[in-house]
Structure 1
Amino acid sequence: MRIVIFTENYWSGGLDVFITTLINNWPDGDEFILICNYDHPGIEVIKKRLRRPCKIIPHYFITDYRISKIWHNSLLKTWTYRILYEYGRYIIDFIQIILFTSFIEKLQPDRVIVTSGGYPGGNTCRLVALSGLFKKSWGKPVFIYHNDPHPARWNQRIPEYIFDILLEKAISALVTVSYHTQAKLSHRPVLKRSQKCKVIYNGIEVHPVSENTYNSIHNELSISKDRQIILMLATYEARKGHEFLFQALQHIVKECPRVSLIVAGFGYPHERENVNKLVNKYSLSEYVHLLDFRNDVPNLLMQAKLLVVPSQTFESFGLVCVEAMTHKVPVVATQVGGIPEVIKDGFGGFVVPLDPILFAERIIQLLSNDHLRNEVAEKGYQVFLEKFTADRMCKEYYHLLNS
């Protein structure tokens, strides 16, 4: 069977991990083709992570993201131009549905999977899903969305309502990664009522660190050997909670002065600069190291005392929490989105309300108590084996695609 996976993405991170995990652990010898926007910053990451053949095809179709960037930098910021864009885009969308249908038909797929960051998410994801209305040879696509759905703006409710009706008819299943995110479909009543909704928890592979891949982060960053490593793995988007974490860190260093916080992830230059300004604002340059996206996440986790997930909003699942579980690293996370479905207090870590002082107290507790830290980490690993393995996730998608 030939399976086409389609995505549109402008950040390198969890969605790339999901796609490569799905392909690498697929329980059959099916052929995969991945189509994504040519300017996705994670294409090289995907290529490095793939362990089985997969043809990657970049596409150059019109996306809302690129149009919005052009508009943002344009001198044509007038209400007339904005109205033309807001409503003219739907005409462009219908034209692109036809073009996408023809584009994918040439690949002769047996099934199509669309995986989107959110809903509606990247507009090309929805357009490819709508190809199911016109082309039956590859069946109805499976549509997967990973973040909370957005409500339609007041001036787009009618066309968005129509699009939702068409999408529900076009797809075979509407899958998301947590019950929290599924509940957020209340913003989209047509989809909320659909019998095609399904939740499949993300799964992840175990990547052991060998002597050949081990690299001392203490040596790399010139960190004293007696410093305990706190790790944050996230993009540099504001919603990920860097400022919240720095507020907590101010309290942590008073009780545990021998700590270093390592932040690693993808970020555009302006996002990185904003976080760097926050480090200076809270006078934490002695404790904080800001790194780019890293391919050696298992290596970093192996050397960390704990992982922190200070997200403030739109955290549908928290895949990085499961990554920490695989390496028996406890997690302290905010009580946001679908994270409480992954982390239960004492089983893999602790979930804390959006209070930086409470967040700091949990971190101090784990850093100061080796027995508790090890016990929580071991229980988290057992949760991973029961609920969040790549094998379990891929089998669920395999059966869904073949049902």
Structure 2
Amino acid sequence: MIRVLNIIETIGSGGVERRRLSMAKLLDKSTFELKIICTNSYGAFADEIRKCGIEVIEIGSLTNFLDVKQHLKVQKIIADFRPHIIHGAIFEGVTMAAINGFWKRVPIIILEETSDPQTRSWKGNVLMKVLTLSAHKVIGVSPAAANYLINTLKINKNKVELITNGIATPRKVTHDETVALKKQLTISEHEIVIGSVGRMTDDANKRFSDLINAFAILVKKQLPVKLILVGDGVEKKKYIQQVEDLGIQKQVFFAGYQADTSLYYSVFDVFSLVSSHESFGLVLAEAMFHKLPIVATKVGGMKYIVDDNETGFLVEKYEVQSIASKLEILSQNKQLRQEFGQKGFHKATQNYTEARYVDNIKGLYSSLFNRHLRTEQPDKTKKITQQ
């Protein structure tokens, strides 16, 4: 039995916790024993992880990266669980895994870069570099993240592991469900629905304001379009005010947070995400599973997910007019929407399933275990695996 201790920040509704849920569901429990440390947890993902029989241990937020009280909690959990592998993701998780894994002599330390840190300070880069010194592998969740590790942090490329994100196959939405939602939202048959999904917590990152401004250009051209934004956060009130100031409130619907996003994807005709930076962009893969054409910014991991002029259009960040232009092309060309959507679906099913992701993680865990425990310390491993 290989004991694995995952450490992340808050378990809420983001990509990292989605991947931990995939691991909880699909890692073979006869081979792997998994526990998860987090600062806090809430919502459906935390509940689903626990339903899979995985213990989720909340320790509370860190006041700073050298929060002794919190590190001592982690060390106590390590002492009790005696993991063979410690795996940290997000800054807090990376910090706790690197420091306490090294201090408590956990045999295998894995760290994970989950962002595209274009704005990380030089001090942050130095700290991240120092934390990776104790790691056996550092995962990049996208080519952009892996390039950051190799080219900015100067980590030996043999130490960097590219494991792209994967998502659960979306549920099939019935025709009646889609019709009912369109009726509820007063979407007529001739209207084209542009949709986006994401947290509304930081407009400097997600740039929903740019998408709204681009959509307003289409409305001014009197195109039959509607915009649905799925998500919630502190920026939502500002977006609502922006829509009112532009006089397009009849064409824009704020759906709020939705645990079941598949229903909303089913009414979209075009999907758009125009972030200023993005490590991967899980919602792009979700949209591709729903056979949607995409308009996205050419940043981070998104430029590797969307094939320009094949599965969608890539535009430069902040370029509102370019976003509007590409949305207009897709809103007026049904055949192109179908062509892009079908190609995107094929790419998603080949590259972005949660089964593929978990197989990659399983392979990494197993290879490191075999290399660092079975072959180098056979007597010690025999004793560990018999306990």
TM-score, with normalisation over the residues of structure 1? 0.80
Distance in 1, Cα, partners of 2:187 & 2:236: 21
What whole-Å deviation, never above 9, does each CA across 1:321-350 have from its counterpart, x for those lacking one? 111111111111011112111110233211
Map 1:325-336; keep pairs closer than 5 Å.
325-336=288-299
- Does the 8 Å contact 2:227/2:252 carry over to 1? yes
Q: Structure 1 residue aligned with 2:340, among 336, 358, 376?
A: 376
1:256–1:310 distance in 2 versus 1, CA, 3 Å: farther
Residue type of the partner of 1:346?
N
Q: Offset of 1:181 from its aligned partner?
A: 2.1
Asked if 1:23 corresponds to 2:24, the answer is: yes
Which residue matches 2:44?
44
1:132-281 correspondence to structure 2 within 5 Å: 132-136=101-105, 138-149=106-117, 153=121, 156=123, 161=126, 164-165=129-130, 167-185=131-149, 189=153, 192-193=155-156, 195-211=158-174, 214=177, 216-236=180-200, 237-238=202-203, 239-255=205-221, 257-268=223-234, 271-281=235-245
Distance of 1:99 and 1:206 partners within structure 2: 36
Q: CA-to-partner distance for each residue in 1:3-52, whole Å, 9 max, x for gaps?
A: 222111386322232222233233564333222112x4x44333247763
Q: Contact 2:315–2:322 (CA<8 Å) still a contact in 1?
A: yes
Which residue of structure 1 aligns with residue 375 of structure 2? Answer: none
Q: Which position in structure 1 is the counterpart of 2:84?
A: 110
C-alpha distance in 1 between matches for 2:61 and 2:196:
34
Of stretches 209-218 and 320-329 in structure 1, the one that deviates more from structure 2 is 209-218
Contact residue 330 and residue 349 of structure 1 kept, 8 A: yes
Question: What's the secondary structure of 2:248's corresponding residue?
Answer: coil
Question: Over aligned residue pairs, what C-alpha RMSD do you find?
Answer: 2.8
CA distance in 1, matches of 2:39, 2:83: 19
Do the aligned residues in 1 keep the contact of 2:44 with 2:259 (CA within 8 Å)?
Answer: no
- What TM-score comes out, normalization by structure 2 length? 0.83
Moved more, 126-135 or 5-14: 5-14
* 2:150 and 2:160 in contact (8 A); partners too: no
Partners in 2 of 1:212 and 1:20 — Cα distance? Answer: 29
Q: Which shifted more, 172-181 or 43-52?
A: 43-52
Q: Which residue in the other structure is 2:99 paired with?
A: 130
Partner of 1:324: 287
- Per the alignment, do residues 52 and 360 of structure 1 end up closer, same or farther by CA in structure 2, a change over 3 Å counting? same
Asked if 1 retains the 8 angstrom alpha-carbon contact of 2:11 and 2:38, the reply is: no
Superposition deviation, residue 225 in structure 1 = 4.7
- Are the counterparts in 2 of residues 232 and 307 from structure 1 also a CA contact under 8 Å? yes
3-state SS of 2:108 partner: coil
**Structure 1 pair 371–329 and aligned structure 2 pair: CA distance change class (3 A):** same
Q: Which amino acid aligns with 1:129?
A: A
Quick one: distance in 2 between partners of 1:379 and 1:223?
26
Q: Deviations 1:88-134 (Å, cap 9, x if unpaired)? A: x64x45x6444422233223433222121xxxx23x53122222212
**Which residue pairs with 1:388 in the alignment?**
352
Unaligned runs of 5+ in 2: 368-387
Partner of residue 379, structure 2: none
* Secondary structure of residue in 2 paired with 1:303: coil
- The CA distance in 2 between the partners of 1:373 and 1:223, in whole Å, is 19
The answer (yes or no) to whether the contact 1:279–1:285 under 8 Å persists in 2 is: yes
Q: Give CA-to-partner distance per residue, 1:335-385, whole Å, 9 cap, x none.
A: 111211111023321111232122112112112111111111111111112
Alignment coverage as a number of residue pairs? 361
